[in-house]
């Protein structure tokens, strides 16, 4: 999907690059270098082989065509890489490459490196999104809009408060991702079964050295059968997808022909249809929903990969070796597409105001009930309003008229209540939200 | 969820009853009786013990309180039942109960019996739904409505055609369920590992006898490690849920305050909210969506239960013993809730007509393009319409006016095109749909 | 995953080719040609434009570089293709391309074409697998092996019967796939909202013409909002994955160092590890498990794409346009990997025999119980065996010795019972299975 | 599943009680009392109605039979409760119950209360599990066992290290749950659309008062359309399930008849089978796997409930109202079952030692390679070992003999290497693990 010319423009190109074959192999080689350096420092391998190893560990020196053939033959993804490295490094360095490590150590640590880079792109997009949404919230603090529950007009709110609501969830998820990246993607250098068998008691020091060199935290127990850390970060990506999907659905609905309160950015030349010339579809929002589902569906692959046989299990690591890059790319792409969607939104405040009138005042029924409650009690007021609302609906009356027919004094009271009076704490919450923005933003 | 007074009214009570403890135990006992009868017929157990066994096999004779305690102690769900049956049957019959069978044989065959009953309820509801939707299609064959793609008005259609579309999917799924029930839930009587070890070469004849007595098909290979048959039926239930969810979403949208083309049945006393007296929520449609998700989420439990260790694996059967009844009850409840939703629909044809005007004619742009295509070619016509539509949107003109400004003759042609002329094959397809109904309906 | 040199050898290359960009675009063009031919035949477009359209519709004539740029700009996957086709066809043909169709019609019909090809590859592999497994069943009809339930030795069986069990599930799934391919992937040519708006009452005849030309069935109602047919086939692929996963788990376990009853094909040069020279891993079986999970996780993307907004919804079709090819490629790859696994299996019959002795006779306890049942009743026999088995385990006795200590005559009877006597209907079922093979095989 | 006598013993009874109808309703009422108290404190409702409200808010005073009927009629789960409360409270208190709140506020806050209680049970079990596993790790620090990867013997390890590995994952998840419970389940008291409409700017103070009284944190933005907090905790439960499943699979495998290194607790009277008297199944481990899947399958219901229409959406809350209790009960039950499993484990150290010999020394091949590496280089050593291992396997030699045939001096070196020398940092990591235990344990 990342390579087809039909769909590749859906995805963030920098993220695709991070996880390209070339970059992946280079990340492996970077880990091998850091390993050799750390071991030389501890006197486990000769100091003088390090530069030869480092010199060999450049992906542009490998023969990728032969690698491809050899990997398929050996049915092992790394032994052919090692063989080329050994040839490049020459004797005696060849004998000290990959000392005491197992393939999965290299792969997992390289993944941690690449995931840091992907994470940075995701966070950058979310930080920009933060200011975009904070702006929307501020600008539309008082832009009246119908609040809706269960698909029906409920109470008045403002569009700024809706934008703040989106922001609230997005911030929490940005914080989750930030707080987990360090623990979730770590150096794991424990050898074939995670005991540091071939490095002995110096193993933890080697791992620490690798971590220091690569800027990564280190797993206390370097178990290959553990994947809970990574899964914890990846499930936070799933939360991001779900939040993005909520925003996208809101936009799709609010752009509906009948609603028309929001509109996606449009440019001349954008095509809605091969036959219907008039179409201005919310195509970014719909694409965003698609990306979110593509991510959401993949997250179980990460969690199913947690129960691993014994000390190591390629049925699980085959899957995570494939799906972690996909999730990372999808995460960046979702953050960016959400940013694009929100940055380009056209807000039709006039239409929001018009739509607020659609129920002929029924949207104010709770407000009226609360006002009447102070004299007759909440429960009696609710009954009166229930009857009035039914009549208003059946006879196509305004709610105030229906109330007046029942009880003229109540009608008078009701007539004074307007949406602006019934916004609760909305203004204050938006002001507080801005403050939050300043303190916790990127 | 089936027992809480808060939620049990969401579910079909007859379906809950089919899968009650009492009925489940009785189904087990019915299988034991059929087994004993079949074995006596073949001379494997004495003819004269059958009536004692049949007499014991009545769930009202069992002590459920003690069963509950003993099951927890033995950590086995059936040995305590056997012990009570043996006591009730007395000697020598006690020695011939459950001859050559294993617990899972009894459970699987009993499940097949109960699933047949559940299936009948599901199909009955779908058959009633078939006529309901066929009526809607017929009645509203010509009721004009905006067809929408990607959330935007696209072309005109009729509400009858939409109803026929719902029906089309539902019929296919009814047929899938009907065609799979027989193969999916069968007699499986092969003993501990599915070899008929304790019955020898007469095993297949015993299984056939049980099938004949219970009205069930028989598994050729009675393997306990096989669950693909059942999973095949259960995934068809998942299709039903997805189809029902589509209909529910359509209704929720079409009842939106801004759209108001459809409305769910409402009765005085139905409450939309504890505070907003006016609310008439599409609560049946929303509940239906919830039920669909509850079912959909459970279907993977069935498929994950297919890969079973070796010849038998309680980690899988524990799950299916629980989830098959839940899926069955949800299936019936979804079919019934969908029926309730569709039967009660109020159609606001006037509002459909009004909404069709919302784009000031842009909904006819493809129709106009096709008409102009015959003179200038499809591609040039598309370009002209694209420009006209953009201008109409920006200047709030009708599409015909925007075209006329560009090309007065084209404007004249455009002005003659009305939704009624551009319904394609809708009428004919609805007539054919009715015919289909008569031939394939229940 | 299909393109990285690290993983592409996991997948069937012919399947990847079927779904390459070039072949996908060609499939679109084939549909356009069939559409033009059908419309010319019905007099809807001039007969003399057909050859120009057909001449333009060759993917090697398109400029893929420009397409890629234009698709990203138009944010539409097909309008840029149309523009190139129009230029290639020249006037007047340009004006008659894609007459009355919408993009999704072309895509869905092209997908049907490609899916037929993928399906053929899957079925071919399953047919070869059928004979492989039938051979295994026949050859090992009498090869004794421990039958296991819940991870413990249960009763004796034969390896041939286990192979027949695998075959039984695989055959059913092959038949499901075969019976669904025709109905699931069909011509859908109803235009923008599935009403044949732009073709009028001749629409169904056009669709029939396209179907006849492409060898595809035709959807009665050509609704873009319907995806149940496709989902039905794709869930059958999920059943295939689950069955394959069961076989793979069986092999992984039976190759365990402690069990060693089966072994995967091994060739000199195959590497189990970069450090552990001795490793002969069941890497094909483990890869198969991975492939199965990659497929299984994607199937919900298909079913979540069933509930579509109104008459068309790109949030769903974006997903299915991506995931259907992935599922198709995974389906073929699973079938082939399963074939490779089963074809290469080395069967260690001697080790099966040795393992059968591990319980010192306890695996025969049911057999002994059934024999004793005829004199003392099933329930008393069960109690005696339960006590004897506990004692045998605690005192590390053979089961026969433990019985003899309790009851010497029972011990004598027990001593005569050997695995060969307690295979139930296994031999006969295998013979019947072969017969089945001949009648229903490819 | 929690009520059937067949399965209820699978689940923690205290957890079922926490979420019983009676306790759920009482939790609702506790929230109503805290709301009234907070509002009286702020002068929003009269001080003197509070005691009447508190007096009415006792679930034993409600008529549950009538509630059940009225809920089904009103199709609303809370209005009937309110009506009974109003009758019990009498005038004027009746008019001040539920002031400015909406049903979902009450439900969500009550859920937070019940979730705290469930969480406590889960954590208590995990704390006991922590000491159980720390004991196992300490006791078996030096108990040699084969380490396995991809189902094949790899290197030696100790059983204590395996137990420490289980503990490592479990601790992390306990910490995740502990760190999320506060933020995930909070007071949400913002009224119909989360704007505090009916409480105005005092709304946040009311929410704070409720939080203080109930011991809960408070949502800054009280949005009904937000569910990411809860989903974050629930996905951590999913991690618990996956970790538990890993442990369970390890036990099932290690209890396999062929392996027999571990054994579940067994008591006389526990039944493995209705027919096979000898069976000692790992039934607790298998049940644990089942529970884990039941939980895992439900977590998507929580995440799918995040994208909610607009300001409130019962299609989502219907689902979460049902599934959160189920997840909570499953979480406790999994923690307890895992505790039961680990507490009862019988460790067969002798069998672990015997199994370590199964490969006739091949399990030491990496150790030998590393030793030879220092003289000939890692890569040449690997080649020598690869050849020797192949020959050892084919000719059924010990690895040392195979090496000696190739190179007698290498053989001598190889002969000196024993598992005890190749445990890497295992001992030290276990000692450190104990230290960790003391510092971070409950």
Give the nearest partner residue to A378 out of D98, D201, D380, using CB atoms: D98
In order of B223, B253, C243, the CA distances from C240 in angstroms are: 17, 37, 5
Name the minimum distance, in Å, from the CA of A422 to any CA of chain D.
6
Kindly tell me if the per-residue pLDDT of B44 is higher than 90. Answer: yes
Give how far D266 is from chain A: nearest CA, Å: 24
| Residue C439 predicted with pLDDT over 50 | no
pLDDT for the residue numbered D236: 97
In this structure, the number of other CB atoms found within 10 A of the CB of residue B8 comes to 16
Residue D442 pLDDT exceeds 80: no
Give the DSSP H/E element, type plus range, for residue D345.
none
Residues in chain B with CB shorter than 8 Å from the CB of D313 are 286
| Residue C438 confidence class, pLDDT cut points 50, 70, 90 | very low
Average the pLDDT over each of A134-138, A339-343, C273-277 and give the range with the smallest value: C273-277
In chain D, which residues have their Cβ closer than 8 Å to the Cβ of A314? Answer: 149-150
For range C290-295, the mean pLDDT: 98
- Helix pair D283-304, D228-255: axis angle to 10 deg: 160
Q: What is the three-state SS of B16-52?
A: HHHCCHHHHHHHHHHHHHHHHHHHHHCCCCCHHHHHH
| Structure confidence at residue A169 (pLDDT) | 96
Nearest CA in chain B to C202: B425
| Residues paired with residue D25 on neighbouring β-strands, in sequence order | none
Question: 3-class SS at C359?
Answer: coil
Residue B269 has pLDDT above 80, yes or no: no
Mean pLDDT of all residues in C153-179: 97
**pLDDT computed for residue D335 by the predictor:** 98
With 70 as the cut, is the pLDDT of residue A440 above it? no
The mean pLDDT value for A290-300 works out to: 97
Closest-CA residue of chain D to B67: D5
B198 with C370: Cβ contact below 8 A:
yes
Average pLDDT over residues A300-327: 95
> Residue B178: what pLDDT?
97
Contacts 24+ apart (CB under 8 A), C378-386: C378/B95, C378/B96, C378/B97, C378/B98, C378/B99, C379/B82, C379/B83, C379/B86, C379/B94, C379/B95, C379/B97, C380/B95, C382/D274, C382/D275, C382/D277, C384/C410, C385/D277, C385/D278, C386/D277
Q: Which residue of D has its CA nearest to A377?
A: D95
Identity of the residue in C146, C151, C279 whose CB atom sits nearest the CB atom of D152:
C279
Interface with B, mutate which of A154, A255, A276 (most B CBs under 10 A) = A276
List the single best residue of C274, C286, C305, C321 to mutate versus A (max A Cβ within 10 A).
Answer: C274
Per-residue pLDDT averaged across D319-338, rounded?
Answer: 97
Asked if residues C228 and B245 have their Cβ atoms less than 8 Å apart, the reply is no
Please state the separation of Cα C199 from the chain's center in Å. 39
Chain A nearest C-alpha distance from B1 (Å): 22
**Residues 6 or more apart whose Cβ sits within 8 Å of residue A54:** A33, A36, A37
Q: Which of B253, B315, B333 to mutate to test the interface with D (most CBs of D within 10 A)?
A: B315
Distance spanning both ends of chain A, measured CA to CA:
31
Query: In B, which residues are within 8 Å of C237 by CB distance?
Result: none
CB contact burial A75-95 (16+ within 10 A = b; e otherwise): bbbbbbbbbbbbebbeeebbb
Question: Which residues in chain A have Cβ-Cβ distances shorter than 8 Å to C78?
Answer: 274
pLDDT recorded at residue D440: 45
- Best CA proximity match to C430, nearest among C215, C212, C84, C136: C136
Cβ atoms within 10 A of the Cβ of D47, count? 11
User: What's the pLDDT score for residue A348?
Assistant: 97
| A-chain residues near B261 (CB < 8 A) | none
List Cβ neighbours of C73 (8 Å cut-off, separation of 6 or more): A269
The verdict on a CB contact (< 8 Å) between D150 and A249 is no
Q: For D341-377, what is each residue's pLDDT tens digit? A: 999 999 999 999 999 999 999 999 999 998 998 888 7
* Nearest CA-CA distance, residue C269 and chain B, Å: 31
Q: Which residue has the higher pLDDT, A16 or D442?
A: A16
Strand B262-263 vs strand B346-347: parallel, antiparallel, or unpaired? antiparallel
Q: D435 falls in which pLDDT band (50, 70, 90)? A: low
Considering CB atoms only, which of B278, B363, B388 is closest to A389? Answer: B278
| B438: confidence class by pLDDT, cuts 50, 70, 90 | very low
Give the pLDDT confidence of D233-284 residue by residue, as tens digits: 999 999 999 999 999 999 999 999 999 999 999 877 777 777 787 888 999 9
- Cβ distance B150 to A257 less than 8 Å, yes or no, reads no
- Given a contact cutoff of 8 angstroms between Cβ atoms, the answer to whether B209 and B109 are in contact is no
Checking if the pLDDT of A282 tops 70, the result is yes
How close D248 comes to chain C (CA, Å)?
12
User: What is the pLDDT at residue B435?
Assistant: 59
Q: Confidence class of residue B440 from pLDDT cuts 50, 70 and 90?
A: very low
> Do the Cβ atoms of A274 and C82 come within 8 Å?
yes
**How far is Cα of residue D28 from the mean position of the Cα atoms in its chain?**
26
For residue C218, which phi and psi values (nearest 5 degrees)? -120, 135
Chains that touch A (3 or more CB pairs under 8 A): B, C, D
Beta bridge partners of A390: none
Interface touch C5/A318, C-beta < 8 Å: no
Q: Which residues of chain B neighbour C195 with C-beta distances below 8 Å? A: 147, 155, 157, 161, 423-426, 429
CA distances from D68 to B330, B376, C134, D81, D110 (A): 20, 68, 59, 10, 19
Nearest to D282 among C151, C363, C365 (CB): C151
SS (H, E, C) chain A: CCCCCCCHHHCCHHHHHHCCHHHHHHHHHHHHHHHHHHHHHCCCCCHHHHHHHHHHCCHHHCCHHHHHHHHHHHCCCCHHHHHHHHHHHCCCHHHHCCCCCCHHHHHHHHHHHHHHHHHHHHHHHHHHHHHHHHHHHHHCCCCEEEEEECCEEEEEEEHHHHHHHHHHHHHHHHHHHHHHHHHHCCECCCCCCCCCCCCHHHHHHHHHHHHHHHCCCECCCCCCCCCHHHHHHHHHHHHHHHHHHHHHHHHHHHHCCCCCCEECCCCCCCCCCCCCCCCCCCHHHHHHHHHHHHHHHHHHHHHHCCCCCCCCCHHHHHHHHHHHHHHHHHHHHHHHHHHHHHHCCEECHHHHHHHHCCCCCHHHHHHHHHHHHHHHCHHHHHHHHHHHHHHHHHHCCCHHHHHHHHCHHHHHHHHCCCHHHHCCCHHHHHHHHHHHHHHHCC
- Give me B122's structure tokens: 């599901």
Q: What percent of chain D has pLDDT over 70?
A: 98
- Which chain D residue has the Cα nearest residue C251? D151
User: Is the pLDDT confidence value at C442 over 60?
Assistant: no
| Bridge-based pairing state of the strands A144-149 and A152-158 | antiparallel
b/e map of C228-266 (b: 16 or more CB within 10 Å)?
A: bbbbbbbbbbbbbbbbbbbbbbbbbbbbbbbbbbbbbee
The band of A434, judged by pLDDT with boundaries at 50, 70 and 90, is low
Confidence of residue A435 (pLDDT cuts 50, 70, 90): low
- Nearest CA-CA distance, residue D257 and chain C, Å: 5
Task: Map tokens 């007009």 to a residue.
Answer: A153
- Which one-letter DSSP state was computed for residue C156? E
Question: Which chain B residues are closer than 8 Å to A261 by Cβ?
Answer: none
State which residue of chain D sits closest to C254, comparing Cα positions. Answer: D151
Give the nearest partner residue to C277 out of D146, D258, D365, using CB atoms: D365
Tell if the CB–CB gap between C172 and B228 is shorter than 8 Å.
yes
Q: Which chain B residues touch C91 with a CB distance below 8 Å?
A: 377
- For the full predicted model, state whether its pTM sits above 0.95: yes
State whether residue B146 is helix, strand or coil: strand
Q: What is the pLDDT of residues A156-190, one digit of tens each?
A: 999 999 999 999 999 999 999 999 999 999 999 99
Higher-confidence position of D363 and D74: D363
Residue D22 pLDDT grade (very low, low, confident, very high; cuts 50, 70, 90): very high
Return the closest-CA partner of residue C229 out of C217, C215, C213: C217
Q: What percent of chain B has pLDDT over 90?
A: 85
Chain B nearest-CA distance from A109, in A, is 31
Average pLDDT in the A83-95 region? Answer: 94
Question: How close D269 comes to chain A (CA, Å)?
Answer: 31
Three-state DSSP state, B144? strand
CB atoms within 10 A of CB C344: 14
Task: Give the span between the Cα atoms of B181 and B123, in whole angstroms.
Answer: 11
Give the three-state DSSP class for D152: strand
D76–B272 CB contact, under 8 Å: yes
**Contact criterion met (CB < 8 Å) for A243 and D165:** no
Rounded-to-integer distance, Cα D243 and Cα D236, Å: 11
Q: What is the pLDDT of residue B436?
A: 56
Taking an 8 Å cut-off on Cβ atoms, the answer to whether D236 and A232 are in contact is yes
Picking from B155, B275, B393, the nearest residue to A366 by CB comes out as B275
CB-CB neighbours of B431 under 10 Å: 13
- D153 burial type by CB count under 10 A (0-12 exposed, 13-18 middle, 19+ buried): buried
In the prediction, which pLDDT does D3 show? 86
Using an 8 Å Cβ cutoff, are B100 and B199 in contact? yes
Task: Assign C192 a pLDDT band (cuts: 50, 70, 90).
Answer: very high
- Contacting residues of A for D161, CB less than 8 Å apart: 195
Q: What chain A residue is nearest to D380 in terms of C-alpha separation?
A: A95
Chain B contact set for C238 (CB, 8 A): 235, 303
Q: Average the pLDDT over each of C113-117, C229-233, D374-378 and give the range with the smallest value.
A: D374-378
Q: Where are the alpha helices (H) located in B264-364, listed in sequence order? A: 283-304, 314-343, 349-356
Q: Are C78 and A274 in contact (CB under 8 A)?
A: yes
C200 interaction partners in chain B (CB closer than 8 Å):
424-425
| Buried/exposed C70-104: b ≥16 CB within 10 Å, e otherwise | bbeebbbbbbbbbbbbbebbeeebbbbbbbbbbbb
- Spatial CB neighbours of B20, under 8 Å, sequence gap ≥ 6: none
User: Hey, is D297 helix, strand or coil?
Assistant: helix
Both tokens of B63, joined, read: 């002590």
Q: Name the burial class of residue D8, with classes exposed (0-12), middle (13-18) and buried (19+) by CB atoms within 10 angstroms of its CB.
A: middle
Q: Which of A214, A201, A220, A229 is nearest to A106 (CA)?
A: A214
Residue C287: count of CB within 10 angstroms of its CB: 22
Confidence of residue B26 (pLDDT cuts 50, 70, 90): very high
**A164–chain B nearest CA distance, Å:** 24
- Per-residue pLDDT averaged across B315-324, rounded? 96
Q: What is the pLDDT of residue B357?
A: 96
Nearest CA in chain C to B147: C311
Does D152 contact C386 at a Cβ distance shorter than 8 Å? no
pLDDT band for position B439 (cuts 50, 70, 90): very low
Q: Residue B129's closest CA among B161, B170, B158, B181?
A: B170
Average pLDDT score, chain B? 93
Test B75 with D271 for CB contact under 8 angstroms.
yes
């Amino acid at each position: 999907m990342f390579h087809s010319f039909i769909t590749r423009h859906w995805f963030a190109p920098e993220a695709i690059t991070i996880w390209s074959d070339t970059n992946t192999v280079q990340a492996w080689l970077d880990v091998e270098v850091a390993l050799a350096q750390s071991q030389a420092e501890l006197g486990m391998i000769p100091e003088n082989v390090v530069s030869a190893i480092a010199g060999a560990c450049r992906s542009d020196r490998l023969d990728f065509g032969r690698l491809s053939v050899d990997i398929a033959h050996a049915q092992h993804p790394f032994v052919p890489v090692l063989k080329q490295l050994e040839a490049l490094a020459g004797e005696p360095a060849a004998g000290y490459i990959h000392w005491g490590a197992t393939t999965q150590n290299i792969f997992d640590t390289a993944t941690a490196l690449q995931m840091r880079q992907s994470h940075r792109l995701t966070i950058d997009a979310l930080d920009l999104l933060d200011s975009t949404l904070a702006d929307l919230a501020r600008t539309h603090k008082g832009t009246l809009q119908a609040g809706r529950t269960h698909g029906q007009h409920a109470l008045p709110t403002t569009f700024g408060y809706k934008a703040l609501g989106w922001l609230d969830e997005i911030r929490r998820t940005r914080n989750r991702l930030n707080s987990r990246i360090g623990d979730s993607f770590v150096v794991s250098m424990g050898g074939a079964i995670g005991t540091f068998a071939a490095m002995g008691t110096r193993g933890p020091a080697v791992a620490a050295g690798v971590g220091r060199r690569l800027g990564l935290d280190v797993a206390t127990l370097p178990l290959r059968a553990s994947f809970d850390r990574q899964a914890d970060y990846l499930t936070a990506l799933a939360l991001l997808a779900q939040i993005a999907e909520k925003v996208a659905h809101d936009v799709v609905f609010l752009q509906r022909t009948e609603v028309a309160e929001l509109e996606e950015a449009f440019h001349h030349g954008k095509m809605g249809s091969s036959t219907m010339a008039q179409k201005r579809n919310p195509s970014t929002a719909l694409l965003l929903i698609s990306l979110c589902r593509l991510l959401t569906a993949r997250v179980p692959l990460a969690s199913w990969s947690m129960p691993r046989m014994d000390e190591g299990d390629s049925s699980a690591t085959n899957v995570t070796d494939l799906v972690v890059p996909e999730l990372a790319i999808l995460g960046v792409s979702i953050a960016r597409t959400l940013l694009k969607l929100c940055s380009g939104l056209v807000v039709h405040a006039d239409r929001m105001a018009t739509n607020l009138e659609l129920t002929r005042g029924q949207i104010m029924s709770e407000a009226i009930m609360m006002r009447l409650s102070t004299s007759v009690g909440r429960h009696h007021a609710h009954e009166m309003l229930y009857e009035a609302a039914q009549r208003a609906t059946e006879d196509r009356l305004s709610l105030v008229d229906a109330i007046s027919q029942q009880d003229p004094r109540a009608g008078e009271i009701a007539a004074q209540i307007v949406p602006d009076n019934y916004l609760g704490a909305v203004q204050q919450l938006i002001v507080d939200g801005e403050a939050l923005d300043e303190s916790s933003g990127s």
